[in-house]
Structure 1
Amino acid sequence: MAEHDPSSGGENDPVQGALPLAGASELGGGREVPFPVALLAFSSVSGVGYRALHSLVGAYGNDLGRLLGVAPEVAVGHLRARKAPKALVEAVSGLPPGLVERAHEHLGQLGRKNVHVLGPGELPARLLRLPGGPRWLFVQGDPAALVQGPHVAVVGTRDASPAGIDAAAAVVRTMAAYPVTVVSGLANGIDAAAHARAVEFGLRNVAFLGHGINIVFPAETAQLRERMLEYGGAVATEYLPDERYRRQQFVQRNRLQAGLGELVIAVEGQASSGTAHTVRFAAQYGTPVVGLSWRGAGDLPRLVADTSGGRVLEIFTPAARRELDTMVRSLAERHGHATDALTLVQRQLTREAACRDLRQDDLLQLQEKIQQLLNERR
């Protein structure tokens, strides 16, 4: 498949709108070919590159399979009527025999890896709203992780400092009191640290990849990826299953993190880094951004501060942690979740009680401490 730039979108993009929206009924009858099968079938056809595939899905949506369910001359006539590019018409007119059958086999192989193919009708609403957003996703794990919020993106550099790793841990621990889903990119450094801490605290993860779903990159994240899936998370990508990684693709997957996240937390990086792209995408989409600062942090906080709606927190201070707690708790409550800021304390108390020789005096002292906290809050 041809190299592509999935960030392309908007009024000046020749892909978007290259084919007028098609009415499925105009193709008449024919066998039903499910969208995932049709997508895999067309993606394997010589001459159908990303732009053609993107345009086809834009025009036919979930009914893409109708083009494969009718006689070739009918499909060709339909495309010509919409002034489709000549190369695309020729590709469809010469579809090889057994194409759909092989696509069914391919889909079965993906299914055995717990990979789902989401069409336009199944994509999360927050991604559908994006200019130049995805028109399909390959999702390994539970697709519900992409729609059950709130989602908080935690992003940062691959070349993380020890302080940056600690900052990512502090962020995730603060969020862990609430039922949020951590969104990141499963790269080394800050991404991996955020995902790993989320698993430790029982939070769900969503990771967007800059390559195909069949590829594990970097190799060091293989075990972490498996644990994320075991804990009900998902790994998602708009790239075809075996597509290799390219630098630009990692930049473009950042728009999906910024788009799905209802809050973006930029942990560490430089104003010229890939993380900065995520910050700019978030600003474009109207997603609130938080940058973290500490002694020795890079210049990313300055970029966040200059971003509309951006907020910089000195993450290693109690005041900053409380402010972040307020933000995340508010998100959870807007999604209808009951919240309890001391969830982690209760979990730890239960674990301690199970392995301690508790006495009545211990519990009375705990009761006194709780009463003291109540008095301080009055």
Structure 2
Amino acid sequence: MAPDDWEDWLRLMATDGVGPTTARRLLAAFGPPAAIFAQRANTLAEVVGAVTAARLLGTPDGWEDLRARTREWLADPNHHLLALGDEAYPPALLTTPDPPPLLHVVGDPVALAAPRALAIVGSRNPTPQGADNARAFARALAGEGVCIVSGLAAGIDAAAHEGALDAGGQTVAVVGTGVDRVYPARHRALAHRIAHAGSVVSEYLLGTPPLPAHFPRRNRIIAGLSQGTLVVEAALGSGSLITAELATQMGREVFAIPGSIHSPQSRGCHALIRQGAKLVETAAHIHEELAGVWAQAPKSVPPPPAAMTGEAQDDPVLVALGYDPTPFDVLQARCGWDTARLQAHLLTLELDGRVQRLPGGRLQRLASA
């Protein structure tokens, strides 16, 4: 993100009625936020309707306070804003169907792009054995260089973060509040430790309170940052099963630890196993399942070649795309690029108005490109 761009991104996401889906629709139609705000009301209304168009051209409620608070927050070198299209934006999220347009990060943003990452989630009220299992799995995996991703919640989440920290490893907490707030409050010290060993991240604006609807939403980020999700203990209908379902939809592996048939906290895991989740008893079982994925993971996602910033005809992705609607896998075969790199560059082309996505996951080069 250019130094002067963050206010436009913040204003976009602070506008009432603009969530991730609407923001991406606007970005695809008009380009970066500054270009969105330069449009006429009737032009915006064609994409988002008259009410949202009027809100976009007005001032969001509490805007001056939010802008001042965010500017002060960004003065800390340990605080970062990452927007879609930024080179530092986590490449794994670009392959998900609902990437957040703007992320607030406390800590090292590089942790969000860990080439080997596992989500560990579960009950907020685990059994003592469940908490011990979460801590032990996280400790073993983090000690071997795997980044542990969880949600800073009470119970299994906290145990997973603690296990990773005990091993001197890397861990990421995805929270359902603004990153300037810690929920539950008793995890404040844990959040500070996580920020020093990885990062705390949120799509929500500073000051956002812990509203119930935010936590299921943040689960897609937990699943999206990871190549697999381990459910340690979960009752039927718990939020952990939402994370597992989202991981399945994203094509990620799902693992579950079995427990007693008499324990309510085991029923969610048993349901996942019946649905095809991998039963695991040791960290080695996860390594066996993800070895191929982790072996292929790049150490980092290389930036696009310099030629891509020049004329459209020099862009190898546009050349490979041609002008006919093309499925992603066909384009990838033509380019020979890995998924994260290609998705990141396609997003840039969308924001530049050179490519559009069609129903069925197909892509088409626009005539102007």
TM-score when scaled to structure 2? 0.70
Which structure 2 residues correspond to residues 154-173 of structure 1 after superposition, within 5 A?
Answer: 154-173=120-139
Give the aligned partner of residue 297 of structure 2: 335
Question: CA 1:202–1:83 in structure 2 vs 1: closer, same or farther (change >3 Å)?
Answer: closer
1:269–1:103: structure 2 CA closer, same or farther, 3 Å change rule? closer
Change (3 A) 1:300 1:86: same
Distance change >3 Å, CA 55–CA 175, structure 1 → 2: same
Paired position in structure 2 for 1:346? none
Number of residue-to-residue matches in the alignment: 289
What CA distance in whole angstroms lies between the structure 2 residues aligned with 1:281 and 1:321?
22
**Deviation, structure 1 residue 245:** 1.6
> Which moves more between the two structures, 188-197 or 245-254?
245-254
The match for 1:304 is 272
| Structure 1 residue 145, shift from structure 2 partner | 0.8
Matches within 5 A, 1:126-165: 126-165=92-131
Task: After TM superposition, give the deviation of residue 110 of structure 1 in Å.
Answer: 2.2
Q: Confirm or deny: 8 A CA contact 2:13 2:23 kept in the other structure.
A: no
Partner of 1:280, secondary structure, is helix
Task: After superposition, give the CA deviation of every residue in 1:58-115 in whole Å (9 maximum; x if it has no partner).
Answer: 32266112344x5xxx5435425x354222332344449x97x877634322213533
Q: Would you say the 8 A contact 1:39–1:64 is kept in 2? A: yes
Structure-1 residue corresponding to 2:75: 112
Kindly report which structure 2 residues correspond to 1:10-159, keeping only aligned pairs within 5 A, or say none.
34-44=4-14, 48-51=16-19, 54-60=21-27, 63-68=32-37, 70=38, 74-76=39-41, 78-80=43-45, 82-95=46-59, 105-113=68-76, 114-122=78-86, 123-159=89-125
What is the alpha-carbon root mean square deviation over aligned residues?
A: 2.8
Match among 179, 190, 193 for residue 145 of structure 2: 179
- Seen in structure 2, the aligned counterparts of structure 1 residues 267 and 67 have a Cα distance that, compared at 3 Å, is same
Q: CA deviation at 1:134?
A: 1.7
Secondary structure at the counterpart of residue 247 of structure 1: coil
Cα distance change of structure 1 residues 301 and 88 upon mapping to structure 2, 3 Å threshold: closer
Task: Give the aligned residue type for 1:76.
Answer: A
* Amino acid aligned to 2:178: G
Partner of 1:4: none
SS in 1 for 2:124: coil
**Aligned counterparts of 1:95 and 1:169: Cα–Cα separation in 2:** 46
Name the CA shift for 1:331/1:179 in 2 (closer, same or farther; >3 Å).
farther
Q: Does 1:293 align with 2:263?
A: no
Counterpart among 198, 202, 214 of residue 180 in structure 2: 214
- How has the CA–CA distance of structure 1 residues 312 and 105 changed in structure 2, closer, same or farther, with 3 Å as cutoff? same
In structure 1, runs of 5+ residues without a counterpart are: 1-31, 338-378
Q: How many angstroms apart in 2 are the aligned matches of 1:285 and 1:150?
A: 16
Letter of the structure 2 residue corresponding to residue 198 of structure 1: A
After the TM superposition, which residues 264-283 of structure 1 pair with which residues of structure 2 at under 5 Å, given as runs?
Answer: 264-283=229-248
State the Cα distance separating 1:327 from its structure 2 match.
3.9
Give distance in 2, aligned partners of 1:238 and 1:110. Answer: 15
Could you tell me the percent identity over the aligned residues? 27
Question: How far apart, in 1, do the equivalents of 2:295 and 2:21 lie?
Answer: 37
Is 2:196 aligned against 1:226?
A: no
After superposition, the Cα gap between the structure-2 partners of 1:171 and 1:75, relative to the gap in structure 1 and judged at 3 Å, is same
Larger radius of gyration: 1
Q: Is the contact made by 2:143 and 2:169 (CA closer than 8 Å) also made in structure 1?
A: no
